[in-house]
Amino acid sequence: MHIPDGYLSPSTCATLFGFATAGWYTALKKTKRLLATRTIPLISVFAAFSFVVMMFNVPLPGGTTGHALGVAVATIVLGPWGSVLAISIALSLQALFFGDGGITTLGANCFNMAIAGSLVAHAMYVLVSGRVELASRRRIFAAAIAGYAAINASALLTAFEFGIQPLLFHDTNGMPLYAPYPLRIALPAMMVGHLTFAGLAEGIISAGMIAYLQRTDISILRGGSFAGEPTVANPSHARATPVWLVVALMMVFTPVGILAAGTAWGEWSPAELSDRARTATPAGLERLATLWTAPFPSYAPAFVKHHAFGYFLSAIFGVGFLLLGSLLVKGLAAKSRRPEFRP
C-alpha cells in the first residue's frame, strides 16, 4: 500500500500532498493543547507501533504480500487527529530511511493511511462501541471492525489513485506514463487481498491490542472516541509503557515479517514492473523512481549480509529514532514551559 515514487503523476502527488497538508494542519491545530510533555510519548509509541506492525508482511492471493497498519489502535487511544500525526511520522520515517513508499508520494500515502485511515477507524469505532464501559468486550469487537474498515478504506483510495493514472496521463501513443494498470485491474488487485487476509490481520491486531490494554492500563483507552474534539488519554494517568513492551516484543520477531514470499502489489521497482507487465517501463515512472535513494532500502542495510538480521537492525533503528526523538521533543517542550528566572 506504500505507493513508490513514479507510480503517480506529479500533479496527482501535488494534489494529494495538498490534501495531506490540510489534514496535518487540522491535526496539529486540534491537538496543540494536548501536546504536553506527558502526551508526546503516547504519540511516539504509536508511531513506533505502526512502524513495526507494517514490517510484518502477510501473503496475499496472486503471490503478493500486504501488511497491517496499526491505525485503529492509535485512533482509539490518541483520537483521530493524534493518530494522524503518529501514523504520518511512521510513514515519513519509512520513506526517508528505508525507501518504503516514495518521497513524491509521501502526501498520498499519508492521506490514504494516516488521515483517511484514522477518520474511518474513528467513525467505525464510535458507531460500533457506542458508550459502553471501557472494559466491555464490545470495545474489542469495535476495534476489530474499525481496523478492518480503516485498512480497506486506505486500500480503496490507493487502488483508485493507481487506476486513474493510465486514463489521465499517457503519451501520444496512448501508453501510460506512470502506474500502468487501469481501474478494472487496480481495484480487484488491491481489494481482494485487503478484504481478506490484510483486513483480517488488521482486525485481529486491533482487537488484541485493545484487549491487552484493557487488562494492563485501562486509563489509556480514555481517548477521543465520542466528542467532536479529540482528547488523548489523560496524561496524568495513561502510560506508554505497556505499548512500548509490545513494540519491543514485536521487534524481536520482525524477521518473521520477511517470510512471506513476494512483493506488495504496486510496490515494484521499474525492473520488477517491466518483468511482470511484460512491457517497457512507463517513461514517467522510470524517471521519478530514482529521485530518492534511501540509506537502508528495503530494510536491508548494505553493511549487513544476512537479510533477517538486517531487517531486525532496521526495526531497532526505526524504533530507536522515534524514542530518541520523543525524548528530545519532550525535553524541549519541558524547557519551553519552565518559568524564566529573573533576579
Read off the pLDDT of each residue in 229-234 and give the average, rounded to a whole number. 42
Residue 227, pLDDT above cutoff 70: no
- Does the pLDDT at position 156 exceed 80? yes
Q: Does residue 54 surpass a pLDDT of 80?
A: yes
Residue 4 is given by DSSP the state P
Q: Under a CB-based contact definition with an 8 Å cutoff, are residues 125 and 75 in contact?
A: yes
Which of 87, 77, 67 lies closest to 210 in space, CA to CA?
77
pLDDT for residue 232 is more than 80: no
The more confidently predicted of residues 34 and 119 is 119
CA atoms within 13 A on the CB side of 227: 12
In angstroms, rounded to a whole number, what is the distance separating the alpha carbons of residues 320 and 185? 39
Q: How many CB atoms lie within 10 A of CB 223?
A: 25
CATH architecture of 10-337: Orthogonal Bundle (1.10)
In angstroms, the CA 320 to CA 316 distance is 6
Which pLDDT score is estimated for 169?
96
The runs of H, that is alpha helices, within the chain are 10-31, 40-53, 71-98, 106-109, 117-129, 137-163, 165-168, 183-193, 199-216, 241-252, 270-277, 283-289, 307-337
The partner residues of 170 in beta bridges, in order of sequence, read: 176
Record the cell numbers describing residue 72, joined without a space: 485503529
Residue scoring higher pLDDT (66 or 276): 66
**Across 75-84, 106-115, 194-203, 256-265, least confident range:** 256-265
Per-residue model confidence (pLDDT) at position 226:
39
CA distance 35 to 338: 15
Tens digits of residue pLDDT in 291-313: 999 999 999 998 898 989 999 99
Among residues 115, 163, 149, 122, which one has the least CA distance to residue 16?
A: 115
Task: Please give the backbone phi and psi of residue 58, each rounded to the nearest 5 degrees, phi first.
Answer: -120, 145
pLDDT digits (tens, 9 = 90+) for 239-265: 788 899 999 999 999 988 887 767 888
Hey, how many other C-beta atoms are within 10 angstroms of the C-beta on 337? 9
pLDDT at 64: 80
113-134 mean pLDDT: 96
pLDDT of amino acid 230: 40
Whether the pLDDT of residue 62 is over 90: the answer is no
| CB-facing half-sphere around the CA of 110: CA atoms within 13 A | 35
Confidence tier at 36 by pLDDT (50, 70, 90): low
Q: How far is residue 176's CA from residue 19's CA, in Å, rounded to a whole number?
A: 25
Residue range 46-67: mean pLDDT, rounded = 89
- Give the rounded percent of residues in the chain with a pLDDT score beyond 70: 90
Most confident range, picked from 20-29, 214-223, 236-245: 20-29
Asked which of 41-55, 195-209, 253-267 is least confident by mean pLDDT, the reply is 253-267
- Rounded Cα distance between 94 and 51, Å, is 8
Average pLDDT of the chain?
A: 89
**214 band by pLDDT with thresholds 50, 70 and 90:** very high
Cβ neighbours for 82, distance < 8 A, ≥ 6 positions apart: 27, 31, 34, 39, 42, 43, 46, 74, 223, 224, 230, 232
pLDDT class of 279 with cuts at 50, 70, 90: confident
Q: With contact defined as beta carbons under 8 Å apart, do 27 and 81 qualify?
A: yes
Per-residue pLDDT reduced to its tens digit, 84-105: 999 999 999 999 999 999 999 9
Residue 297, classified by CB atoms within 10 Å of its CB into exposed (0-12), middle (13-18) or buried (19+), is: middle
Tens-digit pLDDT profile for residues 162-192: 999 999 999 989 999 999 999 999 999 999 9
At residue 83, the pLDDT reads: 96
pLDDT at 231: 42
pLDDT at 338: 61
How far apart CA 199 and CA 215 sit, in angstroms, is 25
Task: Look at residues 208, 202, 212 and name the one whose alpha carbon lies nearest to residue 241.
Answer: 212
Task: Tell me the residue length of the chain.
Answer: 343
CB distance 267 to 66 below 8 Å:
no
pLDDT over 90 (residue 37): no
Higher pLDDT pick, 51 / 58: 51
More confident residue, 214 or 222: 214
